[in-house]
Chain A
Amino acid sequence: NAGVTQTPKFQVLKTGQSMTLQCAQDMNHEYMSWYRQDPGMGLRLIHYSVGAGITDQGEVPNGYNVSRSTTEDFPLRLLSAAPSQTSVYFCASSTWTGGIGNTIYFGEGSWLTVV
């Protein structure tokens, strides 16, 4: 049981390049999401998904695309990288077992630098 796995861990991109951050979870969680964390700040929600085939925008979605073709995977695509997208990206997953609140599991993060 690996939990939430993100790849790559580190990446340097040139402005204008595109790339995909991979996220996979093996806990059969229906909820997955992507956050970014800029230096000295809290995490901000980019996109989220409540199940396969269903995605929606979070607080800071511009410049990013997502898709959810399977329960396990939730890749984040940077269409045309910009220096403002230099950040640490965290993928997260959770399940709802009824009641209030879901315990959310974070991946280890992906450090992205756009030059």
Chain B
Amino acid sequence: GENVEQHPSTLSVQEGDSAVIKCTYSDSASNYFPWYKQELGKRPQLIIDIRSNVGEKKDQRIAVTLNKTAKHFSLHITETQPEDSAVYFCAASKGGAAGNKLTFGGGTRVLVKP
């Protein structure tokens, strides 16, 4: 089955700096890669996703890149703010008719210091 590895497990950045989280996946058939932000005691919230037919996607301060050849994808947060502090998860799935069978990475705890 699919295996997703996520690094780093913790990330501390100064407010205004950038944060980068990297994930690798094992199943070349995976084609949908969402990123979730989870605050303490809350459900995972989708912040951005990327599909295999796209190499990069940006939404305001958040961007995601995908390298299908190397089987890795990354989350970039620019101009970090204290409210960006949370745990971030990457995930991979085959999407489409495979439904919502997500394989998650282990998570990255991001702390933005004011």
Chain A residues packing against B (C-beta within 8 Å): 30-33, 35, 40-45, 48-50, 58-59, 90, 92-94, 96, 99-104, 106-109
Stretch at the interface among B12-20, B49-57, B75-83: B49-57
B104 touches A96 (CB 8 A): no
**Nearest CB in chain A to that of B54: its residue:** A100
Known: A41-B107, A104-B102. A96 touches B43 (CB 8 A): no
Q: Does B61 contact A (CB under 8 A)?
A: no
For the A-B complex, the count of residue pairs with Cβ-Cβ distances under 8 Å equals 83
Give A100 to B100 CA distance when docked, in angstroms: 12
In contact, B49 and A43 (Cβ under 8 angstroms): no
Sorting the interface of chain B by its residue count into under 10, 10 to 19, 20 to 34 or 35 or more gives: 20 to 34
When distances are taken between beta carbons in the complex, the residues of chain A under 8 Å from B106 are: 41-42
Q: Which residues of B contact A (CB under 8 A)?
A: 1, 4, 6, 31-32, 34, 42-46, 49, 51-53, 89, 91, 93, 95-97, 99-107
